[in-house]
Amino acid sequence: MPYIGKSPQQGNYSKLDDFSGDFDGSDATHAIASGGTAIDPITPNALIISINGVIQEPATDYTVSGSNITFTTAPAAGDNFFGVALGEGVSIGTPSNSTITAAKLSSAVLTGHSDIGAGIADADLFLVDDGAGGTLRKTAASRIKTYVEASAMAVTGNVTATGTVEPAGDTSAGDNAAIGYTSAEGLILTGQGSTDDITIKNDADTTVVNVATGGTDVEISAGDLLFGAAGKGVCLGVTTNTDSNTLDDYEEGTFTPTLLGSTTNPTISAGGFSGTYRKVGDAVFIFIDGGFSLSNVGSGQISIGAIPFTSNSGGGGGKGYNGTFSGRGFSASGTTTIVVPRLNPGDTALTLRLFDQNDYPASESAATNSNLSTSANGANWVISLFYFTS
């Protein structure tokens, strides 16, 4: 509001320039200034004046007029002096709304207070802008927590949870990468990319499992599909776990067949046998290749041992499994006689059976050492067989 006369002098305290060099015991009036700028106090009470260390009483020991001070008794030459101009204290009342800016606040408003020293509790209070009229309002941490839980939240950087992350809603076709949940479907993964919609990588950033963009096939891009327990398998062509449709075993490998005699074994002087097998479920396929020379044909019935899996007890209707034989170095009388390898039920050795094609089954007999030869030309046998194991 306007004042009659001079307005109050407001501002910081100012030390007066020293004018004691003008003291001569006769000149009582002196100009007052601070930092070379004239001071124009409105009342002697706005000054603190000291002469020779004695504080002078305003209006009694001195008066002011404009930027001059007049002492009742002129200071003598050599007297010491100091003075301070006081800014007038003026009530500024209550600031109007939105008139105090951030620049007027000290950073100590935040940094000057003690840290909470513990985890934030539901009852802790925060100041927030209500977003409507710029009004600051208080809210409890419990309310902020509820809002974050119930709303979509965009996070820049990594999110680390000390507990579990439990989605509560379904994903949608437009999601770039989303984790969802429904009571019927459980955990849901949804994504869309230019090459794959879903990609699972290992710690070396190698793609292990992926689903192509817009596709429905699951691709194993690295490694193999393993079961955590023996006896588990893949159910093919069905939508439920059906034993008859379960492929629960696959194996492939090699083995070394042996030439046996029921009394004494033949002696192989050069070459030998090699075998390979494939086992799918309980079905076994074997292939035997033999190229050898004998120094002794042994004695008794001839068989080939070390077959990799024991045949089942009811194999071939209880009669065993017959395979195929071709090659040379096996003598048998008659041009219509054939050699048939047979794996009897519950056995791991192939017996060699002889048949006259024109007189079967009466002509069937077991091959013996008499059908072998120590000829220098040697023998080459090729045998294949399919059978079931237990």
Contacts of 174 (CB under 8 A, 6+ apart): 192
Q: Which residue has the higher pLDDT, 9 or 219?
A: 219
Q: Is the pLDDT of residue 219 over 90?
A: yes
Asked whether 361 and 336 are in contact (CB, 8 A), the reply is no
pLDDT score of 5: 52
pLDDT averaged over every residue in the chain: 87
pLDDT tens per residue across span 2-56: 555 555 555 568 899 999 999 999 999 999 999 999 988 889 999 999 999 999 9
pTM as predicted: 0.56
Highest mean pLDDT among 121-130, 149-158, 191-200: 191-200
151 falls in which pLDDT band (50, 70, 90)?
low
Domain assignments of the chain as residue spans, ordered by start = 14-85, 200-248, 253-388
pLDDT score of 149: 62
- Consecutive H or E run containing 273: strand 267-280
- Consecutive H or E run containing 146: helix 141-150
pLDDT score of 72: 95
pLDDT tens per residue across span 227-237: 888 888 899 99
Q: Is the pLDDT of residue 196 over 90?
A: yes
